[in-house]
Chains A and B, each alone.
Chain A
Amino acid sequence: MPSYSQINEKLIEVTLNNEEVFAKRGAMISYQGTVSFARSFLGGSGIQDLAMRTVTNEGYALMVAKGTGKVYYGYDGLFVNVIQVNNETMYVESETLLAFDSRLRTGTMFLGNQGGVQGILRGAVSGQGLFTTTLQGTGEIAILSDGNAIGLKVTPEQPVFVDPDAYIGHKGNLTSNIVTDLNWKTFVGQTSGESYQVKFMGQGTVYIQASER
């Protein structure tokens, strides 16, 4: 199976041994060895998923690198983070996903499922697509972030509240809710800038980046 190695905060190296790795189009920085590139589409299983993506503008062009050698990935000077997925489901925005391989099963998830109407609201308001990408199984993935990404542990006793613009993904057994904080005084006519947050509850990890979208 391809192995991921973090070269520095903005570069990863994927080693292929007659294997393949999927990555964001345009993210290939360099490669050594015999590697060929082909286009691929994210969509998990079948036409239906693809159709859903087209309708909701979550279309995402992927490249699959196949062969034997080393491929280096990075994107626009953004930070790269390698995350271990252990027999769980990782949820991540498609544009945040940098690289993954066939150890994980991909799919799309309608944000609405996780909180009904509030899910849709969250999607529309935060500018993220209504669908998010899911990766399930055991393996590694590489994700992008603007500034360092940190993982915050969520436990049943300690829920985590997150600014939707800083949210990049989560994994584990989590449910989410929109929380609005109506407690501000406005003297000069603007909001506090934190009009709503997303509350994560359960057992898992939420990933945030050091900037607002």
Chain B
Amino acid sequence: MSSFRINTDRLLEVGLQNEKVMAIAGAMVAYTGTMKFEKSLLGGEGFFGALKRKVTNEGMSLMQTTGTGTVYFAHNAAEIAVIPINNEKLFIESSSLLAYDAGLKTNTAFAGLRGATSGQGLFTTTVEGNGNIAVISRGNLITLEVSPSNPLFVDPDAFIGYKGNIAQEFVFDVNWRTMVGQASGESYQFKFTGQGVVYIQPAER
């Protein structure tokens, strides 16, 4: 399996031994060794997968990198975090995905009505299997646990993704409305219950 390593917080170093890694188009900043770059059919989702993405508006423009050597990925000086997946399913906004092992399977999933203002669509991306995924965020990614005794409330602009047996609710709270800041137009928050982890970024989108 390829190795994912973070270099100075904002650069992802992927070591490949005649292996493949998927990344968002344009994210490669440098590499050594021999590499081949190909436009990908969305991580093996196939033609219908591509069509589904066009319909659901969960666009993902991906590139497959194959070869032996080290590839460096980065995106707009955003911080990068590596999340290992062990036979699990991760729900994540496609815009937060930087790179992932080609062996992982991606798909789209319905995420419920999240409102036009948040800029997030009705659908989100799922990544499952065994391997590493690299996620971008503004400020270092923070992992928060959700357990039955400790539900978690999150600002929609800070939300990146989650893993586990989690239910995502929308809370339209009169109290919350007073928290609406200048930049955000959010009049709701996310409430997570169940058992799992939620990933957030310390910034608004």
Direct contact of A and B (CB under 8 A): yes
Give which listed residue, B8, B41, B76, contacts A187 with CB less than 8 A: B41
* A-side contacts of B47, CB under 8 Å: 187
Q: Is B20 an interface residue (CB 8 A)?
A: no
* B-side contacts of A152, CB under 8 Å: 30, 32, 72
Q: Cβ of B11 and Cβ of A150 under 8 Å apart?
A: yes
Kindly specify which of A26-34, A91-99, A113-121, A161-169 makes contact with the partner chain. A161-169
Closest chain A CB from B44 CB (angstroms): 13
* A-side contacts of B61, CB under 8 Å: 190, 193
Give which listed residue, A188, A190, A191, A210, contacts B77 with CB less than 8 A: A210
Q: Is A142 an interface residue (CB 8 A)?
A: no
Kindly specify which of A58-66, A128-136, A178-186 makes contact with the partner chain. A178-186
Q: Is A208 an interface residue (CB 8 A)?
A: yes
> Contacts A187-B50, A209-B77 hold; do A192 and B31 have CB atoms under 8 A apart?
no
Q: Cβ of A150 and Cβ of B7 under 8 Å apart?
A: yes
Count of residues in A whose CB is under 8 Å from the partner chain: 31
Q: Cβ of A185 and Cβ of B76 under 8 Å apart?
A: no
Bound-complex Cα distance A208 to B28 (A): 11
Q: Is A206 an interface residue (CB 8 A)?
A: yes
Q: Is B10 an interface residue (CB 8 A)?
A: yes
Q: Is B1 an interface residue (CB 8 A)?
A: no
Q: Cβ of A166 and Cβ of B74 under 8 Å apart?
A: yes
Bound-complex Cα distance A79 to B10 (A): 12
Beta-carbon contacts under 8 Å, B13-28 to A: 24-28
Residue of A whose beta carbon sits closest to that of B23? A193
Q: Is B38 an interface residue (CB 8 A)?
A: yes
Bound-complex Cα distance A100 to B75 (A): 29
Q: Cβ of B29 and Cβ of A210 under 8 Å apart?
A: yes
Closest chain B CB from A14 CB (angstroms): 23
* B-side contacts of A159, CB under 8 Å: 32
* B-side contacts of A211, CB under 8 Å: 10, 74-78
Residue of B whose beta carbon sits closest to that of A163? B29
Bound-complex Cα distance A148 to B30 (A): 14
Closest chain B CB from A153 CB (angstroms): 9
* B-side contacts of A190, CB under 8 Å: 25, 39, 61
Beta-carbon contacts under 8 Å, B28-72 to A: 28-33, 35-39, 41, 47, 50, 61, 63, 72
Residue of A whose beta carbon sits closest to that of B11? A210
Q: Is B9 an interface residue (CB 8 A)?
A: yes
Closest chain A CB from B114 CB (angstroms): 26
Q: Cβ of A162 and Cβ of B30 under 8 Å apart?
A: yes
Residue of B whose beta carbon sits closest to that of A160? B32
Q: Cβ of A161 and Cβ of B25 under 8 Å apart?
A: no
Q: Is A194 an interface residue (CB 8 A)?
A: yes
Bound-complex Cα distance A166 to B27 (A): 10
Closest chain B CB from A27 CB (angstroms): 18
Q: What residues of chain A have their CB less than 8 Å away from a CB belonging to chain B? A: 79, 146-148, 150, 152, 158-163, 166, 181, 183-188, 190-194, 206, 208-212
Q: A148-B7, A148-B8, A160-B32 are in contact. List 13 more A-B contacts (CB 8 A).
A: A147-B10, A148-B9, A158-B32, A160-B31, A161-B32, A162-B29, A185-B39, A192-B39, A193-B63, A194-B25, A208-B30, A210-B11, A212-B75
Q: What residues of chain B have their CB less than 8 Å away from a CB belonging to chain A? A: 7-11, 24-33, 35-39, 41, 47, 50, 61, 63, 72, 74-78
The 4 closest A-B pairs by CB, nearest first: A147-B77, A193-B25, A193-B26, A166-B29
Question: 29 A-B contacts, Cβ less than 8 Å apart?
Answer: A147-B11, A147-B77, A147-B78, A148-B10, A148-B77, A150-B7, A150-B8, A152-B30, A152-B32, A161-B31, A162-B30, A163-B28, A166-B29, A166-B74, A183-B37, A185-B38, A188-B50, A190-B25, A192-B63, A193-B24, A193-B27, A193-B28, A193-B63, A194-B26, A208-B29, A209-B74, A209-B77, A210-B75, A212-B27
